[in-house]
Amino acid sequence: MQFIPYSILPLVIIIHALLLQGVWLFLGRHARDIYLGDIMRFRAPTSYMSRYYDWRVTKFVNALMEGIVFLVILLCSLILISVALADLATFLDAIFYVAFVMFLSFLSSMQMAWRVREINERESRILSSISASVDKVGVVRSMVEDLIIQGAMGDGRVWFALYRLAQRQNQVGWAIRDVLLEKGKELMKMQQYSERTGELGAPDKGPGIQS
């Protein structure tokens, strides 16, 4: 028995795909924020979401697998909803819309996986550069100072790679961690000094003028 007309089913398919995609993106960003909080405090992932994000960004294959699992879940849920609200024939009639939302979701999944690949490649280059140097601390300090000078224009992938590499219990990880802690303290002192000088240099507005 058909509960909804064919004209409504494409709208249901699109809305459901958007909602599922939104939930997936929200969970990914939430996991990223928790993971960033962990690695910026130089500690191992402390929660399920943080460990999940660590697994995703460790390998391009992992991000690819996640995208494939999401596409399978999306397709299965579209079939179940369509059959429950209408029937299989109506679903087959709306297969163009299903293919459309699946294609868009596929592009989104591949984009995320490609970002992970870029992060992995950047991390490998940084690791090779530091490992090949005798003065590991000097190389890391130069990288961090360049990023600080660039400010908001700096490459966030380099910061991310540095904090990930800082978790390693070897000479490279220790060198990166020492420099990041050192620069963090310097920036904090500069910020505190700027706040103090700003308060001291604030002009006295004087008494108000009554009209």
Of the chain, the percentage scoring pLDDT greater than 70 comes to 83
The answer, yes or no, to whether residue 153 has pLDDT greater than 50, is: yes
Same domain, 156 and 120: no
13, part of any domain: yes
Looking at 132, 167, 190, which one is the last position of a domain? 132
**Residues 30, 123 within the same domain:** yes
For residue 186, the model assigns a pLDDT of: 72
Mean pLDDT of all residues in 149-175: 85
Q: Are residues 119 and 143 in the same domain?
A: no
- Residue 147: closest CA among 135, 161, 165, 164: 161
Q: How far apart are CA 148 and CA 158, in angstroms?
A: 11
Residues 69 and 166 in one domain: no
Please indicate, yes or no, whether residues 115 and 66 belong to a single structural domain of this protein. yes
Instruction: Please report the pLDDT score of residue 210 as a whole number.
Output: 40
Is 113 in the same domain as 157?
Answer: no
**202 against 85, higher pLDDT:** 85
Boundary of a domain, candidates 132, 157, 191: 132
Residue-number span of the structural domain to which 179 is assigned: 133-200
Q: pLDDT value at position 205?
A: 44
Cβ atoms of 108 and 21 within 8 Å: the answer is yes
Per the structure, the count of domains in the chain is 2
Are 133 and 94 a contacting pair, CB within 8 Å?
A: no
Answer whether residue 1 shows pLDDT above 80.
no
Q: Average pLDDT, whole number, for the chain?
A: 83
- Residue 204 pLDDT grade (very low, low, confident, very high; cuts 50, 70, 90): very low
Residue 208: inside a domain? no
- At residue 72 the predicted structure's pLDDT band, cuts being 50, 70 and 90, is very high
pLDDT tens track for 164-180: 999 988 899 899 998 88
Lowest mean pLDDT across 76-80, 97-101, 149-153, 185-189: 185-189
- In this structure, are residues 63 and 113 in contact, taking their beta carbons and an 8 Å threshold? yes
Average pLDDT over residues 175-203: 69
20 and 82 within one domain: yes
88 and 58 in one domain? yes
Is residue 94 classed exposed, middle or buried when 0-12, 13-18 and 19+ CB atoms within 10 A define those classes? buried
Predicted pLDDT at 114: 92
Please report whether residue 211 resides in a domain: no
132, 151, 169 - which closes a domain? 132
- Residue 205 resides in a domain: no
- Helices and strands (H and E) in the chain: how many: 8, 0
**pLDDT tens digits, one per residue of 30-46:** 999 999 999 988 888 88
Supply the pLDDT for residue 198.
54
User: For residue 190, what pLDDT band results from cuts at 50, 70 and 90?
Assistant: low
